[in-house]
A and B are shown apart, each in its own frame.
Chain A
Amino acid sequence: MESDEMSDQTQNTSDDDIVDEILELPLDSWHRAKGARMVPFAGYSMPIQYEGIIAEHRWTRENAGLFDVSHMGQLIVSGEGEDQALEAILPGDIMGLAEGKMRYSLLLNEDGGILDDLMITRTPTGFYLVVNGAVKWEDIGHLREYLPDEITLNHLDDRALLALQGPKAVDALERIVPGVRRLCFMEADSFLWGEEPLWISRSGYTGEDGFEISVPASHVEALAYALCVQPEVKPIGLGARDSLRLEAGLPLYGHDLDEEIDPISADLSFAVSKRRRMDAGFPGAVPIINAIANGPKTKRVGLLVEGKMPVREGALLFAGAEQIGRVTSGGHSPTLDRPIAMGFVTAAYAKIGTSFEAEVRGKRVPVQVTAMPFVPHHYVRKGAAK
Protein backbone atom coordinates (compact mmCIF):
# COMPACT_ATOMS: atom_id res chain seq x y z
CA MET A 1 0.00 0.00 0.00
CA GLU A 2 2.38 2.68 -1.01
CA SER A 3 3.08 4.57 -4.13
CA ASP A 4 5.82 6.59 -5.78
CA GLU A 5 9.35 5.69 -6.70
CA MET A 6 11.96 6.22 -4.05
CA SER A 7 13.25 9.06 -6.19
CA ASP A 8 9.94 10.75 -6.84
CA GLN A 9 9.69 14.46 -6.20
CA THR A 10 6.60 16.35 -5.24
CA GLN A 11 4.35 17.59 -8.01
CA ASN A 12 6.06 19.90 -10.42
CA THR A 13 4.61 23.30 -10.80
CA SER A 14 4.87 25.72 -13.67
CA ASP A 15 4.94 28.65 -11.29
CA ASP A 16 8.57 29.66 -10.94
CA ASP A 17 7.89 31.32 -7.61
CA ILE A 18 7.00 27.98 -6.04
CA VAL A 19 9.91 25.64 -5.61
CA ASP A 20 9.23 21.91 -5.38
CA GLU A 21 8.81 21.48 -1.70
CA ILE A 22 9.84 18.32 0.04
CA LEU A 23 8.09 18.29 3.38
CA GLU A 24 9.59 17.08 6.63
CA LEU A 25 7.89 14.46 8.78
CA PRO A 26 7.81 14.85 12.57
CA LEU A 27 10.61 12.29 12.97
CA ASP A 28 12.94 13.89 10.40
CA SER A 29 15.78 14.82 12.72
CA TRP A 30 15.40 11.54 14.65
CA HIS A 31 15.94 9.57 11.41
CA ARG A 32 19.03 11.60 10.57
CA ALA A 33 20.43 11.12 14.06
CA LYS A 34 19.93 7.36 13.59
CA GLY A 35 22.10 7.50 10.47
CA ALA A 36 19.32 7.26 7.89
CA ARG A 37 19.89 8.05 4.26
CA MET A 38 16.97 10.33 3.39
CA VAL A 39 15.25 10.40 0.00
CA PRO A 40 12.20 12.24 -1.34
CA PHE A 41 9.16 9.95 -1.24
CA ALA A 42 5.47 10.82 -1.66
CA GLY A 43 6.38 14.47 -1.21
CA TYR A 44 8.26 13.93 2.03
CA SER A 45 11.86 13.43 2.98
CA MET A 46 11.95 9.85 4.25
CA PRO A 47 14.55 7.27 5.36
CA ILE A 48 15.34 4.72 2.66
CA GLN A 49 17.82 2.84 4.82
CA TYR A 50 19.89 3.01 7.99
CA GLU A 51 22.47 0.20 8.16
CA GLY A 52 21.47 -1.49 4.90
CA ILE A 53 18.37 -2.89 3.25
CA ILE A 54 19.22 -6.60 3.55
CA ALA A 55 20.26 -6.36 7.20
CA GLU A 56 17.12 -4.35 8.02
CA HIS A 57 14.93 -6.79 6.10
CA ARG A 58 16.35 -9.77 8.01
CA TRP A 59 16.11 -7.96 11.34
CA THR A 60 12.41 -7.40 10.74
CA ARG A 61 11.78 -11.04 9.79
CA GLU A 62 13.60 -12.24 12.94
CA ASN A 63 13.09 -9.49 15.53
CA ALA A 64 11.12 -6.25 15.26
CA GLY A 65 11.48 -3.31 12.89
CA LEU A 66 10.18 0.21 13.48
CA PHE A 67 8.87 1.99 10.38
CA ASP A 68 7.87 5.64 10.19
CA VAL A 69 4.82 5.76 7.93
CA SER A 70 3.66 9.21 8.99
CA HIS A 71 3.38 10.26 5.34
CA MET A 72 0.22 8.16 5.06
CA GLY A 73 -3.13 9.88 5.39
CA GLN A 74 -5.09 9.25 8.60
CA LEU A 75 -8.75 10.18 8.22
CA ILE A 76 -11.88 9.98 10.34
CA VAL A 77 -15.31 9.67 8.73
CA SER A 78 -18.11 10.33 11.21
CA GLY A 79 -21.76 11.30 11.41
CA GLU A 80 -25.16 9.67 11.45
CA GLY A 81 -25.28 6.80 8.93
CA GLU A 82 -21.62 7.11 7.99
CA ASP A 83 -21.31 3.36 7.43
CA GLN A 84 -24.07 3.43 4.83
CA ALA A 85 -22.50 6.49 3.22
CA LEU A 86 -19.14 4.73 3.02
CA GLU A 87 -20.75 1.74 1.32
CA ALA A 88 -21.65 4.03 -1.58
CA ILE A 89 -17.91 4.62 -2.03
CA LEU A 90 -16.21 1.37 -0.96
CA PRO A 91 -16.93 -2.21 -2.19
CA GLY A 92 -16.55 -3.79 1.26
CA ASP A 93 -19.06 -4.77 3.91
CA ILE A 94 -18.71 -1.64 6.03
CA MET A 95 -22.07 -1.87 7.80
CA GLY A 96 -21.14 -5.35 9.01
CA LEU A 97 -17.78 -4.22 10.35
CA ALA A 98 -17.80 -4.51 14.15
CA GLU A 99 -16.24 -1.93 16.44
CA GLY A 100 -12.51 -2.44 16.74
CA LYS A 101 -12.29 -4.50 13.53
CA MET A 102 -10.41 -3.39 10.44
CA ARG A 103 -10.69 -4.32 6.81
CA TYR A 104 -8.77 -3.76 3.58
CA SER A 105 -10.75 -1.74 1.05
CA LEU A 106 -10.46 0.24 -2.17
CA LEU A 107 -11.44 3.58 -3.64
CA LEU A 108 -12.76 2.89 -7.14
CA ASN A 109 -13.67 4.90 -10.21
CA GLU A 110 -16.80 4.24 -12.30
CA ASP A 111 -14.86 1.86 -14.57
CA GLY A 112 -13.83 -0.24 -11.59
CA GLY A 113 -10.26 1.11 -11.66
CA ILE A 114 -8.47 1.46 -8.33
CA LEU A 115 -7.93 5.04 -7.11
CA ASP A 116 -6.25 3.88 -3.91
CA ASP A 117 -6.19 1.02 -1.44
CA LEU A 118 -6.75 1.63 2.25
CA MET A 119 -7.43 0.22 5.68
CA ILE A 120 -10.72 1.04 7.40
CA THR A 121 -11.59 0.44 11.06
CA ARG A 122 -14.80 1.05 12.96
CA THR A 123 -14.01 3.06 16.10
CA PRO A 124 -16.38 4.29 18.82
CA THR A 125 -16.39 7.74 17.21
CA GLY A 126 -16.50 6.93 13.51
CA PHE A 127 -14.46 5.14 10.88
CA TYR A 128 -10.68 5.49 10.84
CA LEU A 129 -9.09 5.25 7.41
CA VAL A 130 -5.41 4.99 6.49
CA VAL A 131 -4.68 5.88 2.87
CA ASN A 132 -1.50 6.09 0.81
CA GLY A 133 0.65 9.17 1.29
CA ALA A 134 1.21 9.92 -2.38
CA VAL A 135 -2.50 10.12 -3.22
CA LYS A 136 -3.94 11.25 0.11
CA TRP A 137 -4.93 14.70 -1.16
CA GLU A 138 -6.76 13.17 -4.13
CA ASP A 139 -8.41 10.68 -1.75
CA ILE A 140 -9.58 13.47 0.54
CA GLY A 141 -11.02 15.32 -2.47
CA HIS A 142 -12.74 12.16 -3.67
CA LEU A 143 -14.26 11.44 -0.26
CA ARG A 144 -15.40 15.05 0.19
CA GLU A 145 -17.09 14.90 -3.19
CA TYR A 146 -18.88 11.60 -2.67
CA LEU A 147 -19.74 11.73 1.04
CA PRO A 148 -23.06 13.45 1.88
CA ASP A 149 -22.78 16.90 3.49
CA GLU A 150 -23.93 15.64 6.89
CA ILE A 151 -20.96 13.24 7.11
CA THR A 152 -17.76 14.76 8.47
CA LEU A 153 -14.29 14.00 7.12
CA ASN A 154 -11.37 14.85 9.39
CA HIS A 155 -7.76 14.65 8.28
CA LEU A 156 -5.68 13.79 11.35
CA ASP A 157 -2.64 15.72 10.15
CA ASP A 158 -1.54 16.30 13.74
CA ARG A 159 -0.89 12.57 14.20
CA ALA A 160 2.10 10.49 13.19
CA LEU A 161 1.97 6.78 12.31
CA LEU A 162 4.51 4.15 13.28
CA ALA A 163 4.57 0.47 12.33
CA LEU A 164 6.31 -2.08 14.52
CA GLN A 165 6.69 -5.31 12.58
CA GLY A 166 8.24 -8.71 13.24
CA PRO A 167 7.87 -11.78 15.44
CA LYS A 168 9.15 -9.91 18.52
CA ALA A 169 7.06 -6.76 17.97
CA VAL A 170 4.45 -7.97 20.46
CA ASP A 171 7.01 -8.46 23.24
CA ALA A 172 8.55 -5.03 22.71
CA LEU A 173 5.27 -3.13 22.45
CA GLU A 174 3.56 -4.98 25.34
CA ARG A 175 6.39 -3.77 27.61
CA ILE A 176 5.64 -0.14 26.73
CA VAL A 177 1.90 -0.31 26.18
CA PRO A 178 0.51 -3.14 28.33
CA GLY A 179 -2.54 -4.83 26.86
CA VAL A 180 -1.73 -4.74 23.16
CA ARG A 181 -1.12 -8.49 23.23
CA ARG A 182 -4.86 -9.15 23.39
CA LEU A 183 -5.41 -7.70 19.91
CA CYS A 184 -5.60 -10.22 17.08
CA PHE A 185 -4.74 -9.60 13.43
CA MET A 186 -6.95 -6.84 11.95
CA GLU A 187 -8.21 -5.65 15.34
CA ALA A 188 -7.61 -2.23 16.84
CA ASP A 189 -8.27 -0.26 19.99
CA SER A 190 -7.29 2.87 21.87
CA PHE A 191 -4.57 2.73 24.52
CA LEU A 192 -2.89 5.25 26.75
CA TRP A 193 0.85 5.76 26.73
CA GLY A 194 1.38 7.94 29.78
CA GLU A 195 -1.29 10.54 29.11
CA GLU A 196 -1.09 10.27 25.35
CA PRO A 197 -3.89 8.57 23.45
CA LEU A 198 -2.65 5.93 21.00
CA TRP A 199 -4.74 4.13 18.42
CA ILE A 200 -3.13 0.73 17.85
CA SER A 201 -4.01 -1.98 15.38
CA ARG A 202 -2.51 -5.43 14.92
CA SER A 203 -1.71 -5.12 11.24
CA GLY A 204 1.03 -4.15 8.83
CA TYR A 205 2.65 -4.42 5.46
CA THR A 206 5.42 -6.98 5.92
CA GLY A 207 3.59 -10.32 6.28
CA GLU A 208 4.84 -10.54 9.87
CA ASP A 209 2.93 -10.12 13.08
CA GLY A 210 3.02 -6.52 14.17
CA PHE A 211 1.26 -3.29 15.00
CA GLU A 212 0.50 0.10 13.55
CA ILE A 213 0.44 2.93 16.07
CA SER A 214 -1.22 6.29 15.56
CA VAL A 215 0.32 8.80 17.95
CA PRO A 216 0.10 12.61 18.36
CA ALA A 217 2.91 14.08 16.23
CA SER A 218 4.11 16.00 19.28
CA HIS A 219 4.94 12.70 21.02
CA VAL A 220 6.11 10.48 18.17
CA GLU A 221 9.80 11.13 18.79
CA ALA A 222 9.49 10.11 22.43
CA LEU A 223 7.59 6.97 21.41
CA ALA A 224 10.11 6.09 18.69
CA TYR A 225 12.87 6.49 21.27
CA ALA A 226 11.03 4.32 23.81
CA LEU A 227 10.54 1.61 21.19
CA CYS A 228 14.09 1.67 19.85
CA VAL A 229 15.66 1.21 23.28
CA GLN A 230 13.90 -2.17 23.44
CA PRO A 231 16.46 -4.85 22.54
CA GLU A 232 14.20 -6.33 19.84
CA VAL A 233 13.72 -3.08 17.91
CA LYS A 234 15.70 -1.30 15.20
CA PRO A 235 14.55 1.43 12.81
CA ILE A 236 13.88 0.17 9.28
CA GLY A 237 13.78 2.21 6.07
CA LEU A 238 11.59 2.28 2.99
CA GLY A 239 13.95 -0.01 1.09
CA ALA A 240 13.31 -2.98 3.37
CA ARG A 241 9.64 -2.01 3.63
CA ASP A 242 9.41 -2.58 -0.11
CA SER A 243 11.32 -5.90 -0.16
CA LEU A 244 9.31 -7.18 2.82
CA ARG A 245 5.93 -6.38 1.26
CA LEU A 246 7.03 -7.91 -2.06
CA GLU A 247 7.93 -11.18 -0.32
CA ALA A 248 4.55 -11.00 1.43
CA GLY A 249 2.86 -10.73 -1.99
CA LEU A 250 1.23 -7.41 -1.06
CA PRO A 251 0.57 -4.98 -3.90
CA LEU A 252 1.93 -1.43 -3.87
CA TYR A 253 -0.36 1.34 -5.06
CA GLY A 254 1.04 3.28 -8.02
CA HIS A 255 2.99 0.21 -9.12
CA ASP A 256 0.90 -2.97 -8.88
CA LEU A 257 -2.39 -1.10 -8.62
CA ASP A 258 -3.64 1.96 -10.47
CA GLU A 259 -6.70 3.50 -12.10
CA GLU A 260 -6.47 1.14 -15.07
CA ILE A 261 -6.58 -2.00 -12.91
CA ASP A 262 -9.72 -3.46 -11.38
CA PRO A 263 -9.78 -5.42 -8.09
CA ILE A 264 -10.54 -8.76 -9.76
CA SER A 265 -7.55 -8.60 -12.13
CA ALA A 266 -5.48 -7.52 -9.14
CA ASP A 267 -6.49 -10.68 -7.24
CA LEU A 268 -8.22 -8.54 -4.61
CA SER A 269 -11.73 -9.96 -5.05
CA PHE A 270 -11.81 -10.58 -1.28
CA ALA A 271 -12.17 -6.80 -0.93
CA VAL A 272 -15.51 -6.97 -2.80
CA SER A 273 -17.77 -8.46 -0.12
CA LYS A 274 -20.42 -11.05 -1.07
CA ARG A 275 -23.32 -8.84 0.00
CA ARG A 276 -21.97 -5.92 -2.01
CA ARG A 277 -21.82 -8.05 -5.15
CA MET A 278 -25.58 -8.50 -4.74
CA ASP A 279 -26.45 -4.86 -4.07
CA ALA A 280 -23.94 -3.53 -6.64
CA GLY A 281 -24.10 -0.11 -4.98
CA PHE A 282 -20.47 0.92 -5.23
CA PRO A 283 -18.51 2.73 -7.99
CA GLY A 284 -17.52 0.43 -10.84
CA ALA A 285 -19.86 -2.33 -9.63
CA VAL A 286 -21.03 -3.35 -13.09
CA PRO A 287 -17.62 -3.96 -14.69
CA ILE A 288 -16.33 -5.53 -11.48
CA ILE A 289 -19.26 -7.95 -11.11
CA ASN A 290 -18.85 -8.75 -14.80
CA ALA A 291 -15.16 -9.56 -14.25
CA ILE A 292 -16.10 -11.84 -11.32
CA ALA A 293 -18.65 -13.68 -13.49
CA ASN A 294 -16.59 -14.02 -16.64
CA GLY A 295 -13.07 -13.99 -15.26
CA PRO A 296 -10.66 -11.08 -15.71
CA LYS A 297 -8.64 -10.63 -18.91
CA THR A 298 -5.40 -10.23 -17.00
CA LYS A 299 -4.33 -11.40 -13.56
CA ARG A 300 -1.79 -10.31 -10.98
CA VAL A 301 0.63 -13.17 -10.36
CA GLY A 302 3.82 -13.89 -8.46
CA LEU A 303 6.91 -14.85 -10.45
CA LEU A 304 10.00 -16.79 -9.46
CA VAL A 305 12.93 -15.66 -11.60
CA GLU A 306 15.61 -18.11 -12.70
CA GLY A 307 19.19 -17.14 -11.91
CA LYS A 308 20.29 -14.11 -9.95
CA MET A 309 19.50 -11.14 -12.15
CA PRO A 310 16.68 -9.01 -10.70
CA VAL A 311 13.66 -8.48 -12.93
CA ARG A 312 12.19 -5.11 -12.06
CA GLU A 313 9.11 -2.99 -12.60
CA GLY A 314 8.50 -2.35 -16.30
CA ALA A 315 10.09 -5.56 -17.60
CA LEU A 316 7.91 -7.08 -20.34
CA LEU A 317 6.82 -10.73 -20.21
CA PHE A 318 6.85 -12.93 -23.31
CA ALA A 319 5.65 -16.37 -24.35
CA GLY A 320 7.79 -16.83 -27.44
CA ALA A 321 7.28 -13.73 -29.56
CA GLU A 322 3.97 -12.82 -27.94
CA GLN A 323 3.96 -10.20 -25.20
CA ILE A 324 1.70 -11.57 -22.48
CA GLY A 325 2.28 -9.18 -19.61
CA ARG A 326 4.41 -6.83 -17.63
CA VAL A 327 6.25 -6.82 -14.31
CA THR A 328 4.90 -4.23 -11.86
CA SER A 329 7.23 -4.91 -8.88
CA GLY A 330 10.36 -6.96 -8.71
CA GLY A 331 13.69 -7.33 -7.03
CA HIS A 332 15.92 -9.41 -4.84
CA SER A 333 14.28 -11.42 -2.07
CA PRO A 334 16.63 -11.35 0.93
CA THR A 335 14.76 -14.24 2.60
CA LEU A 336 14.84 -16.53 -0.45
CA ASP A 337 18.16 -15.11 -1.73
CA ARG A 338 16.83 -14.98 -5.28
CA PRO A 339 14.97 -12.56 -7.52
CA ILE A 340 11.17 -12.48 -7.27
CA ALA A 341 8.59 -10.36 -9.07
CA MET A 342 4.94 -9.52 -9.30
CA GLY A 343 3.16 -8.61 -12.51
CA PHE A 344 0.09 -8.86 -14.69
CA VAL A 345 -0.30 -11.54 -17.38
CA THR A 346 -3.15 -12.48 -19.71
CA ALA A 347 -5.39 -14.94 -17.88
CA ALA A 348 -4.29 -17.94 -19.96
CA TYR A 349 -0.78 -17.66 -18.47
CA ALA A 350 -1.80 -17.04 -14.86
CA LYS A 351 -1.93 -20.64 -13.67
CA ILE A 352 0.62 -21.60 -11.03
CA GLY A 353 3.55 -23.40 -12.61
CA THR A 354 3.25 -21.71 -16.02
CA SER A 355 6.64 -20.76 -17.45
CA PHE A 356 7.52 -17.91 -19.79
CA GLU A 357 10.20 -15.23 -20.09
CA ALA A 358 10.93 -11.73 -18.89
CA GLU A 359 13.00 -9.33 -20.97
CA VAL A 360 15.75 -7.39 -19.18
CA ARG A 361 18.17 -5.17 -21.13
CA GLY A 362 17.38 -7.10 -24.31
CA LYS A 363 17.96 -10.52 -22.72
CA ARG A 364 15.35 -13.15 -21.95
CA VAL A 365 15.16 -14.65 -18.45
CA PRO A 366 12.95 -17.67 -17.60
CA VAL A 367 10.25 -16.99 -14.99
CA GLN A 368 7.56 -19.20 -13.49
CA VAL A 369 4.19 -18.31 -11.97
CA THR A 370 4.15 -19.16 -8.28
CA ALA A 371 1.68 -18.83 -5.42
CA MET A 372 1.94 -15.73 -3.25
CA PRO A 373 3.00 -14.92 -0.62
CA PHE A 374 6.57 -15.83 -1.53
CA VAL A 375 7.37 -16.00 2.18
CA PRO A 376 4.59 -17.28 4.49
CA HIS A 377 2.59 -14.75 6.49
CA HIS A 378 2.84 -14.95 10.28
CA TYR A 379 -0.30 -13.20 11.42
CA VAL A 380 -1.76 -13.81 14.87
CA ARG A 381 -5.34 -14.65 14.01
CA LYS A 382 -8.28 -14.91 16.32
CA GLY A 383 -8.77 -18.41 17.68
CA ALA A 384 -5.26 -19.51 16.74
CA ALA A 385 -2.85 -20.56 19.47
CA LYS A 386 -0.83 -17.52 20.50
Chain B
Amino acid sequence: MTRYFTDEHEWIDVDGAQATVGITDYAQGQLGDIVFVELPVIGATVTKGGEAAVVESVKAASDVYAPVSGTVTAANDALGDDPALVNSAPEADGWFFKLTLADAGELEGLMDAAAYQAFVAAL
Protein backbone atom coordinates (compact mmCIF):
# COMPACT_ATOMS: atom_id res chain seq x y z
CA MET B 1 0.00 0.00 0.00
CA THR B 2 1.29 3.45 -0.91
CA ARG B 3 0.33 6.75 0.65
CA TYR B 4 0.23 9.90 -1.43
CA PHE B 5 -0.51 13.51 -0.45
CA THR B 6 -2.03 16.51 -2.23
CA ASP B 7 -1.22 20.18 -1.94
CA GLU B 8 -4.80 20.60 -0.61
CA HIS B 9 -3.74 18.52 2.43
CA GLU B 10 -5.56 15.29 1.65
CA TRP B 11 -3.90 11.89 1.94
CA ILE B 12 -4.76 8.85 -0.17
CA ASP B 13 -3.78 5.23 0.57
CA VAL B 14 -3.73 3.18 -2.62
CA ASP B 15 -3.97 -0.62 -2.72
CA GLY B 16 -4.39 -1.75 -6.32
CA ALA B 17 -7.53 -0.02 -7.64
CA GLN B 18 -8.88 0.66 -4.12
CA ALA B 19 -8.05 3.80 -2.21
CA THR B 20 -8.85 5.47 1.13
CA VAL B 21 -8.95 9.26 1.48
CA GLY B 22 -8.63 11.57 4.48
CA ILE B 23 -7.18 14.91 5.51
CA THR B 24 -3.70 15.30 6.95
CA ASP B 25 -2.65 16.01 10.50
CA TYR B 26 -1.49 19.42 9.34
CA ALA B 27 -4.95 20.12 7.88
CA GLN B 28 -6.81 19.16 11.05
CA GLY B 29 -4.44 21.33 13.07
CA GLN B 30 -5.21 24.30 10.86
CA LEU B 31 -8.96 23.69 10.98
CA GLY B 32 -9.16 23.24 14.74
CA ASP B 33 -12.01 21.45 16.50
CA ILE B 34 -14.02 19.49 13.91
CA VAL B 35 -17.74 19.35 14.69
CA PHE B 36 -19.26 17.90 11.51
CA VAL B 37 -18.20 16.02 8.39
CA GLU B 38 -20.38 15.70 5.30
CA LEU B 39 -19.36 12.62 3.35
CA PRO B 40 -20.12 11.57 -0.22
CA VAL B 41 -22.78 8.90 -0.76
CA ILE B 42 -21.71 5.42 -1.79
CA GLY B 43 -21.82 5.09 -5.55
CA ALA B 44 -21.13 8.76 -6.16
CA THR B 45 -18.48 9.57 -8.73
CA VAL B 46 -15.87 12.12 -7.77
CA THR B 47 -13.48 13.99 -10.05
CA LYS B 48 -9.86 14.74 -9.29
CA GLY B 49 -9.72 18.18 -7.71
CA GLY B 50 -13.52 18.34 -7.37
CA GLU B 51 -15.45 18.75 -4.12
CA ALA B 52 -15.96 15.40 -2.45
CA ALA B 53 -16.73 16.17 1.21
CA VAL B 54 -17.15 19.08 3.61
CA VAL B 55 -15.43 19.35 6.95
CA GLU B 56 -16.78 21.83 9.48
CA SER B 57 -14.78 23.21 12.36
CA VAL B 58 -16.25 25.42 15.07
CA LYS B 59 -15.36 28.43 12.95
CA ALA B 60 -15.93 27.50 9.32
CA ALA B 61 -16.90 24.97 6.65
CA SER B 62 -14.15 23.77 4.30
CA ASP B 63 -14.30 21.65 1.16
CA VAL B 64 -12.36 18.43 0.88
CA TYR B 65 -11.31 17.65 -2.70
CA ALA B 66 -10.97 14.27 -4.35
CA PRO B 67 -7.23 13.55 -4.82
CA VAL B 68 -8.11 11.37 -7.84
CA SER B 69 -11.23 10.52 -9.84
CA GLY B 70 -13.24 7.44 -8.97
CA THR B 71 -16.39 5.89 -7.56
CA VAL B 72 -17.09 6.07 -3.83
CA THR B 73 -17.34 2.61 -2.25
CA ALA B 74 -17.51 3.48 1.47
CA ALA B 75 -17.91 6.46 3.81
CA ASN B 76 -16.63 6.56 7.39
CA ASP B 77 -19.86 6.38 9.43
CA ALA B 78 -17.89 6.74 12.68
CA LEU B 79 -17.43 10.43 11.86
CA GLY B 80 -21.19 10.94 12.20
CA ASP B 81 -21.13 10.21 15.92
CA ASP B 82 -17.62 11.40 16.59
CA PRO B 83 -16.38 14.02 14.10
CA ALA B 84 -13.51 14.80 16.49
CA LEU B 85 -11.88 11.56 15.24
CA VAL B 86 -10.57 13.77 12.44
CA ASN B 87 -8.67 15.74 15.10
CA SER B 88 -7.48 12.79 17.15
CA ALA B 89 -6.63 10.33 14.35
CA PRO B 90 -6.68 12.21 11.04
CA GLU B 91 -4.47 9.79 9.16
CA ALA B 92 -6.01 6.58 10.59
CA ASP B 93 -9.50 6.14 12.14
CA GLY B 94 -10.48 9.62 10.97
CA TRP B 95 -10.49 8.63 7.25
CA PHE B 96 -13.28 10.13 5.12
CA PHE B 97 -14.17 7.77 2.25
CA LYS B 98 -12.95 4.93 0.05
CA LEU B 99 -13.07 4.83 -3.70
CA THR B 100 -12.27 2.75 -6.74
CA LEU B 101 -9.75 4.56 -8.90
CA ALA B 102 -10.92 5.59 -12.37
CA ASP B 103 -7.41 6.25 -13.66
CA ALA B 104 -4.30 5.17 -11.76
CA GLY B 105 -2.34 7.59 -13.93
CA GLU B 106 -3.81 10.43 -11.88
CA LEU B 107 -1.61 9.38 -8.97
CA GLU B 108 1.38 10.77 -10.80
CA GLY B 109 2.17 14.21 -9.55
CA LEU B 110 0.90 13.56 -6.01
CA MET B 111 3.47 13.86 -3.24
CA ASP B 112 5.01 11.11 -1.14
CA ALA B 113 5.37 11.54 2.63
CA ALA B 114 8.82 13.18 2.42
CA ALA B 115 7.73 15.61 -0.30
CA TYR B 116 4.58 16.53 1.64
CA GLN B 117 6.57 17.09 4.81
CA ALA B 118 8.84 19.46 2.91
CA PHE B 119 5.78 21.17 1.37
CA VAL B 120 4.22 21.77 4.80
CA ALA B 121 7.53 22.92 6.30
CA ALA B 122 7.72 25.61 3.63
CA LEU B 123 4.23 26.99 4.39
Contact = CB atoms under 8 A, between A and B. Distances in A.
A48 B33 contact: no
B32 A332 contact: no
A239 interface: yes
Contacts of B38: 309, 361
**Shortest 10 CB-CB contacts between residues of A and residues of B:** A332-B35, A53-B58, A54-B33, A308-B36, A309-B36, A310-B56, A332-B58, A53-B33, A239-B59, A52-B33
A52 B54 CA distance: 20
Nearest to A7: B60
Interface in A208-250: 239, 242-243
Interface residues of B, number: 14
Given A52-B32, A53-B32, A310-B36, A239 B58 contact: yes
Contacts of B35: 308, 310, 332, 339
Contact of A309 (B56, B58, B59): B56
B59 A53 contact: yes
The winner among B33, B36, B61 for most chain A CB atoms within 10 A is B33
Contacts of A49: 32
A334 B56 CA distance: 14
Contacts of B59: 6, 48, 53, 239, 242, 331
23 contacts: A6-B59, A6-B60, A48-B59, A49-B32, A52-B32, A52-B33, A53-B57, A53-B58, A53-B59, A242-B59, A308-B35, A308-B80, A308-B83, A309-B56, A310-B36, A310-B56, A312-B60, A312-B61, A331-B58, A332-B56, A339-B35, A339-B36, A361-B54
Interface in B68-89: 80, 83
Contacts of A361: 38, 54
Given A308-B36, A332-B35, A361-B54, 10 more contacts: A52-B33, A54-B58, A239-B32, A239-B59, A308-B35, A310-B36, A310-B56, A331-B58, A332-B58, A339-B36
Interface in B29-47: 32-33, 35-36, 38
Given A53-B59, A312-B61, A332 B36 contact: yes
Contacts of A309: 36, 38, 56
A55 B59 CA distance: 14
B85 to A, nearest CB: 13
Interface of B: 32-33, 35-36, 38, 54, 56-61, 80, 83
Nearest to A307: B36
Contacts of A243: 58
Contacts of B61: 310, 312
Contacts of B56: 309-310, 332
A154 B33 CA distance: 41
A189 to B, nearest CB: 36
B55 to A, nearest CB: 11
Nearest to B51: A361
Interface string A298-335: 00000000001110100000000000000000011010
A339 B56 CA distance: 11
B58 A334 contact: yes
The winner among A55, A309, A361 for most chain B CB atoms within 10 A is A309
Nearest to A53: B58
The winner among B38, B56, B80, B83 for most chain A CB atoms within 10 A is B56
A23 to B, nearest CB: 22
Contacts of A332: 33, 35-36, 56, 58
Nearest to A337: B35
Nearest to A48: B59
Contacts of A53: 32-33, 57-59
A242 B32 CA distance: 15
A249 to B, nearest CB: 18
A181 to B, nearest CB: 33
Contacts of A54: 33, 58
